[in-house]
Amino acid sequence: MKRRTELPVPLSAAPFTFADARLLGISRSRLRQSDINHVSRGLYRPAGWSFELEAAARALSDASPGAWISHVTAARLRCQILPPWLSDTEELHLSKPRALPEVRRKGIVGHTVLTLDDEVETVDGIRISTRSRTWLDLARRLSLPELVCMGDELVRIPRFQLEGRREPFATTDQLRSMVIRHPNLQGIVRARAALDLMRVGSDSGPETLLRLAMGDAGLPEPELQVALHPGRLGSPTADLGYRRRRVAIQYDGGHHLLPAQIFSDRRRDKAFEAAGWIVLVLTKDDLADDFRNAISRIKRSLRTASQSPASAAGFSNTG
C-alpha cells in the first residue's frame, strides 16, 4: 500500500489555497485525500485544523482576488470594540465591488458593496476594510449604543507611551465625510445618529455606555478625561465628571483589579477627595444593570454638590 505523502508544514498548520498547494508541489489527487478538507472553490484546510481567525481570513483573502475581508471579521482581526454577542464569532465576511460576481462560497457571508479606494487596505498581506469603513459597514447590524462605542474608540486620542501612536484612527470629520459619500448604504441613518453622539475622550466601551445612559437619564453631559490639575503633567484624571460641581466618576474595569493598579487607583481617588471632590467608582456590576443604580448615585452626588459653597455658582439643571 502506497504511503500518503505528508503535507508541508505551511499547509498542515492552516487553511491554504490551490495556488499555495501547487507552488509546494501538491498534486490534485493529493488534495482529495482524507487529511484535507475542500472548503470552497480554490480553498482547502487540514482536516484536523482548529479554527483560527487570522489564518482563515488570510487564506480567504488569498483565494479571492479583488475582494477583501470586511464587516465583523475585519473588526475582530483589528480587535475593534464589539458587543459580547459578536466578540468571539467565527463568521467570515468577504466583500466585493459591484463590478465582480457575487460572493458564493460555502460558509462565507458575502457582500457586494460600493467602496472607494481609501476604504480598503492591505495589512500583513490581507486585503481588509479600513477601521472606519468597518464601522460604517456594521451600522446596519449594531445597535446605536454599540455603534457609538465602536466610533468612540476610533476617535479617541491614544496614549503614546502605552500604544505607540499619537493620532486617532479617525476623526469625526473624516467619518462624517465617509458617511456623506455613501448616502444609500443600509444603516446610514444609524451611522449619522451615532456620529452626533460620539465624543473624543471615552477610553472604553463601558465609559461610552455610561455617558449615553447619563444622557438618557436627563443628566448634563459630563466632561471626559477630567484632569484634577488641568495643564499639569501627570495630573490625576477622572474618566467622566463635572468640574464645577467637583464630582469625579471612575469606571474601573477588569485590569483595575491588579494589585499595582488598585494602589494607583486609590492614590488617584484620594487626590480628588483631598481637593474636595466627590468620587464615584463604578464597576462591571454597574454595567450589568445598565447603570441604573449608578445614575441614581450620580444624581444624589450632584444634588449634594449643589449645596456646597465651592460649587454652587454657575452650574444648574442636574436633571
Q: What is the pLDDT of residues 199-257, one digit of tens each?
A: 999 999 999 999 999 999 999 999 999 999 999 988 999 999 999 999 999 998 765 55
The x, y and z cell numbers of residue 88, run together, are 468571539
Is position 244 within any domain?
Answer: yes
Name the pLDDT band for 309 (thresholds 50, 70, 90): low
**Can you give the CATH number for the domain in which 207 is found?**
3.40.960.10
- The 10 Å Cβ neighbour count of residue 1 is 3
For 296, phi then psi, to 5°, come to -65, -40
128 touches 77 (CB < 8 A) = yes
Q: How many separate domains does the chain show?
A: 2
Q: What is the 3 state secondary structure string of 242-295?
A: ECCCCEEEEECCHHHHCHHHHHHHHHHHHHHHHCCCEEEEECHHHHHCCCHHHH
Is the pLDDT confidence value at 92 over 90? yes
* Average pLDDT over every residue of 283-288: 94
Q: What is the pLDDT of residues 238-254, one digit of tens each?
A: 999 999 999 999 998 76
Is the pLDDT confidence value at 86 over 80? yes
Q: Among the three residues 15, 31, 50, which one is the final residue of a domain in this structure?
A: 50
Is position 63 within any domain?
Answer: no
Is position 295 within any domain?
Answer: yes
Rounded percentage of the chain residues whose pLDDT exceeds 90: 66
Is the pLDDT confidence value at 258 over 70? no
Is the pLDDT confidence value at 66 over 90? yes
For 274, phi then psi, to 5°, come to -65, -25
211 touches 222 (CB < 8 A) = yes
Is position 78 within any domain?
Answer: no
* Average pLDDT over every residue of 10-23: 86
- The parent domain of residue 6 ranges over 1-50
Rg of the chain over all Cα atoms, to the nearest angstrom:
25
Q: Among the three residues 50, 66, 88, which one is the final residue of a domain in this structure?
A: 50
| Closest listed residue to residue 53, CA positions, set 6, 88, 102 | 88
Is position 90 within any domain?
Answer: no
* Average pLDDT over every residue of 289-307: 94
Cross-sheet strand order for the sheet of 247-251: 223-227, 237-242, 247-251, 278-282
Long-range (24+ apart) CB contacts under 8 A made by 156-159 are: 156/200, 156/201, 156/202, 156/203, 157/200, 157/201
CA distance between the termini of the chain: 82
Is position 89 within any domain?
Answer: no
The x, y and z cell numbers of residue 247, run together, are 464630582
Sign of CA dihedral 13, 14, 15, 18: negative
Q: Among the three residues 50, 69, 84, which one is the final residue of a domain in this structure?
A: 50
pLDDT in the model for residue 37: 85
Is position 185 within any domain?
Answer: no
H-run or E-run covering 74 = helix 71-77
Is position 121 within any domain?
Answer: no
* pTM of the predicted protein model: 0.84
